[in-house]
């Protein structure tokens, strides 16, 4: 409704003065004056007015900032973790063999709606019963499924009545110094605590003790406290760009997070360990970021594998698994985990510029298809994948590799001087970023015919190369 008209005080006084003073001129309105008067009245009647409800809406809109939206959008994807663990007593306060029970706390992020959660391994290490509280205050428990002590990451499976929304995964490849970030976590047991800060530095190396060293960390001044470990570091859009992991004791505003690109690659490796029945498909994939947008590329297809039989090729871009969109290697591994029950999976991929569908029948792996056994026999090497986070300081051209665990006596590898601790990064013109990559190379016809080939290793952050040929494989 229109506002009531108000007049300045001087107009009333002027009116009284006019009534009391002698009239020297009588006002006689003509048609023009009447039209102007009517127009003024109409204009005053139609002047917009704002109610108190409108004003409150404006205030609410101003308060509902991007920061608020970022936290609201991720809140249900963050869970709080608690549990009791046994830790050694400080030798200064007792025997070196004494232990005590302590209450541990931490945070986890949902990476799959069926209850799969990513957190730091140190949060759940040694905890018998992992207690979980969701944002809706549902209390349940979790099981530790897979972990990697070197990168301090772990996968949990929590029991929940309702599906949980996975956190939105961003990219850590385009982070900027002084960019605003948000930390969410179970700080000192205060669930879902939110703190704000900026990115202070990138690619930090931090050694927290004799056994644990972190590389390629994000440094932030957002308040991160005990209990924040395993929780998300968000950008202003609410995308997870890191996993909070450590804080500098005794310092103010110095905390660290694992970049999300590294964390998700490691999570994919951990998820691959969970697939039941050791099912084999023969596909090696890698997440590739172009303009900070991820896509899932096929690195290699192992010859005679289910994937090759289905028609997949190296260089294909996988877009869907069983109709679900995938852009990350983590998506791929999670999809395979649930496809295991059907023993086959429908893969949609872009091949030679065309979108095609492939049915890959999953098989149980055996010695002839297990990449590590193949690597051991012809080369004399026992190898294990090394996570991307451990390759950051090794060499700028290689993001992954295979670490040499041991060497067989009188093998081609020993003859060439390869040593335990070396990192195999390329062979015969192909990068060896996974055991599947290596198996692909070893089954190429010219390698099988025992022709010489080049190999590249990283030793003490320095690249070396050499030539070898595979040993004759046993016939039994």
Which one from 152, 221, 316, 422 is the annotated catalytic residue? 152
List, in sequence order, every beta strand (DSSP E) within 368-469.
Answer: 381-386, 401-407, 423-427, 430-431, 453-459, 462-468
Positive/negative CA dihedral, 447, 453, 454, 457: positive
Tell me which DSSP letter residue 389 carries.
Answer: G
DSSP per position, 238-289: S-EEEEEEEE-TT-SS-EEEEEHHHHHHHHHHHHHTT-GGGEE--EEEEEEE
Strand partners, 457: 424, 464
Helices (H) and strands (E) in the chain, counts: 12, 26
Has 152 been annotated as catalytic? yes
Q: Which of 129, 107, 120 is nearest to 153 (CA)?
A: 120
Which one from 171, 172, 229, 434 is the annotated catalytic residue? 229
Q: How far is CA 472 from CA 385, 429, 447, 451, 464, in A?
A: 25, 22, 11, 12, 25
Q: Is 99 helix (H, G, I), strand (E, B) or coil?
A: strand
Which one from 122, 147, 192, 281 is the annotated catalytic residue? 122
Strand partners, 197: 181
**Contact criterion met (CB below 8 Å) for 75 and 135:** yes
Catalytic residue ranges: 122, 152, 229
């Amino acid at each position: 409704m229109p506002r009531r008209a108000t007049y300045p005080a001087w107009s009333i006084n002027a009116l009284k003065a006019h009534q009391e003073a002698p009239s020297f001129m009588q006002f006689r309105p003509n048609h023009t004056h009447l039209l102007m008067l009517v127009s003024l009245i109409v204009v005053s009647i139609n002047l917009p007015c704002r109610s108190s409800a409108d004003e409150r809406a404006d205030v609410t809109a101003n308060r509902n900032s991007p920061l608020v939206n970022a936290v609201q959008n991720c809140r249900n994807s963050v869970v709080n973790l608690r549990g009791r663990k046994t830790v050694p007593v400080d030798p200064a306060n007792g025997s070196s063999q004494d232990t005590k029970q302590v209450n541990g706390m931490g945070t986890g992020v949902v990476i799959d709606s069926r209850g799969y959660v990513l957190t730091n391994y140190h949060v759940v290490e040694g905890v018998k019963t992992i207690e979980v509280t969701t944002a809706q205050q549902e209390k349940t428990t979790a099981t530790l499924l897979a972990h990697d002590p070197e990168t301090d990451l772990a996968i949990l499976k929590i029991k929940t009545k309702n599906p949980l929304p996975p956190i939105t995964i961003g990219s850590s490849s385009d982070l900027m110094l002084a960019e605003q970030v948000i930390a969410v976590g179970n700080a000192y047991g205060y669930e879902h605590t939110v703190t704000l800060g900026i990115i202070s530095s990138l690619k930090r190396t931090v050694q927290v003790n004799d056994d644990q060293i972190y590389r390629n960390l994000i440094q932030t001044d957002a308040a991160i406290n005990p209990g924040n470990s395993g929780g998300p570091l968000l950008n202003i859009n609410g995308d997870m760009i890191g996993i909070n992991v450590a804080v500098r004791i005794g310092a103010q505003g110095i905390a660290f997070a694992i970049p999300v690109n590294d964390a998700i690659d490691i999570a994919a490796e951990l998820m691959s360990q969970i697939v039941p029945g050791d099912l084999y498909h023969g596909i090696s994939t890698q997440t590739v970021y172009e303009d900070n947008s991820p896509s899932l590329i096929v690195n290699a297809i192992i010859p005679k594998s289910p994937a090759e039989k289905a028609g997949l090729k190296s260089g294909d871009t996988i877009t869907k698994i069983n109709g679900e969109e995938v852009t990350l290697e983590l998506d791929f591994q999670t999809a395979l985990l649930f496809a295991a029950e059907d023993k086959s999976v429908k893969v949609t991929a872009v091949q030679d510029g065309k979108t095609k569908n492939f049915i890959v029948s999953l098989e149980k792996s055996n010695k002839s298809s297990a990449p590590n056994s193949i690597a051991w026999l012809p080369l004399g090497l026992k190898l294990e994948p090394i996570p991307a986070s451990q390759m950051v300081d090794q060499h700028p051209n290689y993001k992954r590799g295979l670490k040499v665990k041991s060497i067989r006596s009188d093998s081609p590898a020993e003859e060439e001087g390869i040593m335990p601790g070396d990192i195999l990064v390329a062979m015969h013109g192909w990068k060896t970023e996974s055991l599947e990559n290596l198996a692909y190379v070893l089954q190429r016809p010219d390698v099988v015919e025992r022709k010489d080939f080049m190999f590249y290793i990283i030793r003490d952050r320095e690249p070396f190369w050499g030539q070898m040929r595979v040993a004759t494989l046993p016939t039994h």
